[in-house]
Amino acid sequence: MQTHPSMPRLVMCDDAELAKVVGAEVANRTTIHAWPLSWVQRLEFADGRTFAYKSQLPPTVEPEFYEAATSPLLLGHRVLDRYADCSTMLIDWLDAPGLSDLPQTEVQLVRRAREVVAQIGEIAGDLPAYLDLGTTQAWSSATGGTLQKLHQLVADGRFPSTDLRMLEELAEWVVSPPVLDKLSESPRVVHGDLRADQIFVTDAGYRIVDWQRPVIAPPEVDLVSLLTDLEIDPRPHVDASTRGIERFVLLHWAVVAQYDLFPTLDGSLFDEWSSSAIRAILDLKEEQRR
């Protein structure tokens, strides 16, 4: 086994073990991504096959998602062994242009974004979700827990960019009728963190990667994330409540990361994510009042 030098809980098979699994010798392996919850390598084998080799820790549900889901959006994959709480998997490597790599107008990009979101809704299977926001009860549980932890992070001085006034206004927003109405319209599993660099355009259609934290939420939460990443203003395309729910997904992740996963880590990045999400939600409150 190989252990990541700075993240000992993340482990991978060595070359000899991988050769037994794949049936060919490893010709080259290169780390392309690493952070405390995941480690990704590009593996090239002597027979010409290439894979992304992924090692990841909870709260990811990506291996379970791949095993449950049926969709042409997903790449070929093989879930490998689990070592303690570390899961490993091989995913087919794809050389194809990303969504934003092709010359296209904003109108074309918005059309493609809507196509992708609609096709995510066609994924079949009993899909796992990292976060459930699909009912008022689930929303109340998620927002209540997030606000409680957020209060503590602010009181401890770990989230200095947020103040009590912001928390009070956020608490009003989470129970506002437009938000509660939106949650019950048509919730389903969404990607939860959809960006242009996760979407590839092939002759056979779109392919999407990185399914670590799918969410049960209004479908257009994904559209907000994708348009924002494409630097397209989502306001003409998606209602304010959905845009706020999309920002809450980021807020929830920032709070969980600092409070639960990395309580001793410098939280400046998580503080930035949290405060930017809250400020965006409070701006939406003002927009709905006008």
Can you tell me the distance from the alpha carbon of 214 to that of 83, in angstroms, rounded to the nearest whole number?
Answer: 23
Question: Could you tell me which residues are beta bridge partners of residue 250?
Answer: none
Nearest to 146, CA basis, from 40, 66, 234, 247 = 247
Structure tokens at 227: 């348009």
Predicted pLDDT at 1: 76
Mind listing the domains of the chain with CATH numbers?
Answer: 2-92 (3.30.200), 99-289 (3.90.1200.10)
pLDDT tens, position by position, for the chain (290 residues)?
778 777 788 999 999 999 999 999 999 999 999 988 999 999 999 999 999 999 999 999 999 999 999 999 999 999 998 888 999 999 999 999 999 998 899 999 999 999 999 999 999 999 999 999 999 999 999 999 999 999 999 999 999 999 999 999 999 999 999 999 999 889 999 999 999 999 999 999 999 999 999 999 999 999 999 999 999 999 999 999 999 999 999 999 999 999 999 998 887 999 999 999 999 999 987 776 66
The residue type found at 47 is: D
Identify the three-state secondary structure at position 246.
Answer: helix
Cβ partners under 8 Å of residue 59, min gap 6: 130, 213, 256, 261
Identify the three-state secondary structure at position 148.
Answer: helix
C-alpha gyration radius of the chain: 20
The residue type found at 246 is: E
Q: How many Cβ atoms sit within 10 Å of the Cβ of residue 115?
A: 12
Taking the mean position of all CA atoms in its chain, how far away is CA 69? 16
Identify the three-state secondary structure at position 71.
Answer: coil
Structure tokens at 31: 């780390």
Task: Encode 2-44 in three state secondary structure.
Answer: EEECCEEEEEECCHHHHHHHHCCCEEEEEEEEEECCEEEEEEE
Answer yes or no: are the C-beta atoms of 227 and 144 closer than 8 Å.
no
Residue recorded with tokens 């042409």 = 72
Answer yes or no: are the C-beta atoms of 26 and 90 closer than 8 Å.
no
Q: Angle at Cα 236 formed by Cα 230 and Cα 238, nearest 5°?
A: 80
Identify the three-state secondary structure at position 104.
Answer: coil
